[in-house]
Structure 1
Amino acid sequence: MNPSAITALVDRWRPETHSFHLRTGEMTVTLQDMSLILALPVEGKQLCIDTSCEDWRGKMFDLIGKVPDDIVNKKGEKLRVSAGATFSWISQNFKTCPEGASQDVVKLYARVYVWYVITRTLLPDSSGNTAQWHWLKALTNMETKWSWGSAALAFLYRQERFPVGRPKVFDYKDYEDHGNQLRLPTWAYKWDVVSEFSGDPVAAYWNYTNEFDNLTPEQVEWEPYGPRSKFGDPLTFALNPACMMEATLWYMHCPLVCMWAVEHHMPQRVMRQYGLL
């Protein structure tokens, strides 16, 4: 992460509009990004469940068959810990599904894997090393169609975990889908990873501030995915079809719900990002 760039961006973020206010206009992360980068479903039930941690160990055991051991100090006293499991514990206990496992065991490992991915990338806690219990609770019934796209965006708006850096396409290789188009990559496969920051953070902050203050409309990549007619063009990039399945929902002006976080999606403020202005 680049703390200097993040700070310069946060200076220009307005929670009332959920957008960055720059001289050239407003910009923000939208449901379009949730679809094209992450291929997360937008349509579905709002992610809002009981977050009670009462008897969470017993309920976790019922769902995945294991629970972390109690942590005790040198005096033999149990230490108070967050309801959930550390990522290292999950990796140690559920790294590989046994060969020849039954369908129930496969579903169990799939549930843990989804829990791990969600809590590590989309909905992390402040510790950075724990998968919280209530996200596993949301996976009790794997058939429930949650709106993970709107939940992830609501969480992003609330936590202000912004991506940093201008998208840069790198020389990617052809992707083998093994005859299943849903195994094709999302747009994230095309973009290079922003390198980790190193340097004087104070000097870098002022450099970013000056760059933002002097930004002109000609320098802005309003449509980082290119013209919409080119999305997923097999002649340029074979995009996973799941990325475009809910394109009509990108323009919704609606509340986004993720447990305790309720934030508004306001695409009408950034229509240039959709190529509509």
Structure 2
Amino acid sequence: MTVTLQDVAVLLGLPIHGSAISGRANVDIYDYCLRFLDQVLHPSNMKPRCLSIGWLAKTFDLTKLPTNATDETIQCYVRATILRIIGGDLMGSKTEGYVHDMFFQFVEDLHLMQEYSWGSACLAYLYRNLCNVVDPYISQISGPLLLLQLWAWE
């Protein structure tokens, strides 16, 4: 028995058909935050190639979304929320609290997000991390552990 793409689709509701989520990004995090999140980023809110999830949560607190928010402001909040989910639950790493800049390119155009196979990426990331955990020098596991927990429970 193993976690399958169908499990990912059913348990997490992620699309399993579409373009692959892969590659490396050469993203200027400062420029990205200014262009797509409409915020100036302080260096303390990042690590090399990673953005702080805590900063995203504090800066884009959904309970503080202005009542007269423009479509552009709402899109910034949506992007920040999606990046928090990616970095925290779906593609989390051992550097907890940060989302890798590789995923920024897939969140730029919100209308194109449904064209990507997020479920395939999530499952591949889980398998990769399960392979890494057999190393006797590894003391932690990372990845989409919510998926693994839901699958085991089901």
The TM-score normalised by the length of structure 1 is 0.44
Q: Which moved more, 1:112-121 or 1:59-68?
A: 59-68
1:110-150 CA-partner distances (Å, limit 9, x unpaired): 11111111110000122111122221221111122111011
Q: Show structure 1 runs of 5+ residues with no match.
A: 1-26, 72-79, 168-223, 225-277
RMSD: 2.1
Find the residue that maps to 2:26 and give its secondary structure: coil
Rg larger for: 1
Find the residue that maps to 1:154 and give its secondary structure: helix
Counterpart residue type for residue 46 of structure 1: A
Report if the CA contact (8 A) 1:49-1:138 is conserved. Answer: no
Aligned to 2:9: 35
- Counterparts of 1:9-88 in structure 2, within 5 Å, are 27-53=1-27, 55-71=28-44, 81-88=47-54
Aligned to 1:120: 88
Point out the structure with the larger helix share: 2
Which residue of the other structure, out of 115, 118, 140, is the alignment partner of 1:148? 118
Q: Show structure 2 runs of 5+ residues with no match.
A: 131-142
Do structure 1's residue 89 and structure 2's residue 63 form an aligned pair?
no
Do structure 1's residue 109 and structure 2's residue 77 form an aligned pair?
yes
Counterpart residue type for residue 124 of structure 2: A
The TM-score normalised by the length of structure 2 is 0.76
Report if the CA contact (8 A) 2:37-2:80 is conserved. Answer: yes
- Counterparts of 1:166-181 in structure 2, within 5 Å, are 166-167=152-153
List structure 1 segments (4+ residues) > 4 angstroms apart after TM superposition: none
Q: CA deviation at 1:92?
A: 1.2
Report if the CA contact (8 A) 2:87-2:97 is conserved. Answer: no
Report if the CA contact (8 A) 1:68-1:85 is conserved. Answer: no
Q: 1:150 to 1:101 in 2, by over 3 A?
A: same
- State the identity as a percent: 23
Report if the CA contact (8 A) 2:33-2:41 is conserved. Answer: no
Q: CA deviation at 1:57?
A: 1.3
Find the residue that maps to 1:85 and give its secondary structure: strand
Aligned to 2:104: 136
